Structure 1
Amino acid sequence: MVGRDTKYTGGFLLMNYIFDVDGTLTPSRGSMDVEFANWFEHFATHNAVYLVTGSDREKTLEQIPKYIYNLCIRVYQCSGNNVWEQDTEIRRNEWMLTDKQHHWLLDKLHDSGFRPKVGNHIDVRPGLTNFSIVGRGCNLEQRYLYRGWDEHKKERETIAKAYNEKFKDSVATVAGETGIDITPIGGGKEQIMKDFEGPITFYGDKTMEGGNDYTLAQAVAKRGGKVIQVESWEDTFNSLQGKENVV
């Protein structure tokens, strides 16, 4: 099992708290709220805390303070395809899209009627590729525009479904407010479950079918763990404050 000892001295297993990051601990692509971060520092000091996110380490550290990152037993970057304990890289998956898959995504980008498209549409990470029609360089106004477009057109759901029907070696899921995450079969967030024993509580904002938290949520529920679907970091904060076992 992972990291520091996750048992009480009496032999009872600690609750393992697993948190998605974007939309669960932070605003979408934003930094962690200062009040929440101060509270969460205490929580992570006294509980077994893990993070799992589609983002790479550099982007996560733009959102989560380094001192909180280092309090986590493990951080599963890129949906578990790149794993860190503080400043030590534990493992890395080198899977990448094929040229055929890459060009297929470019065709979907060209076909989309959304404007503007601001660049950096295909972001290659260890074991994961993120695809965004608006582009990862979008500002808040452009992100808001695309979110409205996508809510009306269901563009990301449509693209992800078409990808999954065409390619059988990997899976596309809706991620965050503007992206689609693509991982190899078995390389989604569910893969981290092999590292855990004992009780689990998982917080995520995309636990519904088609979301990039879905497979992990299903795996946690199958294990008998608790899945808490949130709509924002405020939901997470409020839920944690209401827990009896919060120190």
Structure 2
Amino acid sequence: MISTQHVCAKSKRNILWDVTLCVCVCVCVCVCLQKIDPELDDFFQALRKKVKIGVVGGSDYSKIAEQLGEGDEVIHKFDYVFAENGTVQYKEGQLISRQAIQNHLGEELLQDLINFCLSYMGLIKLPKKRGTFIEFRNGMINISPIGRSCTLEERIEFSEIDKREKIREKFVAALQEEFAGKGLRFTRGGLISFDIFPEGWDKRLCLDVLEQEGLDTIFFFGNETSLGGNDYEIFEDPRTIGFTVCSPEDTARLCREMFFNAPPNES
């Protein structure tokens, strides 16, 4: 039985212990934009000998690679890598699928969306603003009121201001009102930004690939699993057994208990 004592994690349903093959889809394996801890990296490589492991994230592949390895080695370190909510898919080191948001939304809606965001951000007053306020990706548009080129310290500072003043929450509410009925979704992720993408283009996209693989069980670990978070839909999907985790250490601790029969850490 899995004990959740001393860990900030919660299963959304019972875990099937008699599975013959399972996949662990790990999201929370790095502190925001920092390199994965070498010991944690070694642990996941050991875990891969027991189960198939996939990573799904909202960032593009280059940012995932910065955190989990170097360059193309990441797509070989994991059985599956799903970048940009799964609109860019890798399996066993090979690119298997890529979608483009501009083809789905069309240029007119895309420009209306970008222009609205630029106008709205021009009215936001912050202690600091940096660069890259809008990042165009294959599967989404990432919006950052402070700018993605901010330092880690500035990132944390903005996050604290955002908690008090609900900057991103108000921004999303304005977008939802302006673009109601346009088939768009808005989800927060990380400390400084939120994502805009077509309805259905959330992290559940990766589940279609995994289902085709004939896997018995899909475990999902994520930190933004509440309503409005970018892990919410995949966490709530009946095809997954979901866990809310607060840190990379939580993810590793649960995996040790589940797959290595290790007792809970009592420290």
Instruction: Name the counterpart of 1:114.
Output: 126
Distance 1:193 1:155, change over 3 A: same
Tell me what 1:15 maps to. 22
Greater C-alpha radius of gyration:
2
| C-alpha separation in 1, matches of 2:74 and 2:100 | 27
Q: 1:111 to 1:86 in 2, by over 3 A?
A: farther
Name the counterpart of 1:7: none
Check the 8 A contact 2:75/2:93 in 1, yes or no. no
Moved more, 53-62 or 161-170: 161-170
The residue aligned with 1:76 is: 82
Q: Which residue of 2 aligns with 1:240?
A: 255
Q: 1:138-174: per-residue Cα shift (whole Å, max 9, x none)?
A: 1011011101011111211222233233322221100
Which residue of structure 2 aligns with residue 175 of structure 1?
A: 189
Q: Does 1:59 align with 2:63?
A: yes
Partner Cα separation in structure 1 for residue 187 and residue 194 of structure 2: 6
Aligned ranges for residues 1-247 of structure 1 at < 5 Å? 13-20=20-27, 24-66=28-70, 67=73, 69-96=75-102, 98-167=110-179, 168-197=182-211, 198-219=216-237, 222-223=238-239, 225-245=240-260
Q: Given that residues 26 and 251 in structure 2 are in contact (C-alpha distance below 8 angstroms), is that contact kept between their aligned partners in structure 1?
A: no
Alignment partners' CA distance in 1, 2:171 and 2:165: 11
In the alignment, the residues of structure 1 paired with residue 261 and residue 124 of structure 2 have an alpha-carbon distance, to the nearest angstrom, of 46
Does the C-alpha gap of structure 1 residues 31 and 144 become closer, same or farther in structure 2, counting only changes over 3 Å? same
Of 108-117 and 47-56, more deviation after overlay is shown by 108-117
Shift >3 Å, 4+ stretches: 66-69, 244-247
| Contact 1:175 1:212 (8 Å CA) reproduced | yes
Shift of residue 13, structure 1, vs aligned partner: 4.2
* CA distance, structure 2, for counterparts of residue 235 and residue 42 of structure 1: 17
TM-score by length of 1: 0.87
Structure showing greater relative contact order (alpha-carbon pairs closer than 8 Å, 6 or more residues apart):
2
Q: Secondary structure at the match of 2:117?
A: helix
TM-score where L is the length of structure 2:
0.81
Distance 1:69 1:45 in 2: 16
| Cα contact 1:52–1:75 (8 A) shared by 2 | yes
8 Å contact from structure 1 (residues 54, 77) kept in 2: yes
What is the distance in 1 between the residues matched to 2:51 and 2:259?
13
TM-aligned CA deviation for residue 244 of structure 1: 4.2
Alpha-carbon distance in 2 for matches of 1:68, 1:94:
22
Q: Name the count of aligned residue pairs.
A: 231
Distance (Å, rounded) in 1 between the aligned partners of 2:165 and 2:147: 17
Contact 2:142–2:193, Cα closer than 8 Å, also in 1: yes
- Contact 1:41 1:68 (8 Å CA) reproduced: no
Mapped partners of 1:194, 1:240: distance in 2? 23
Offset of residue 192 of structure 1: 1.9
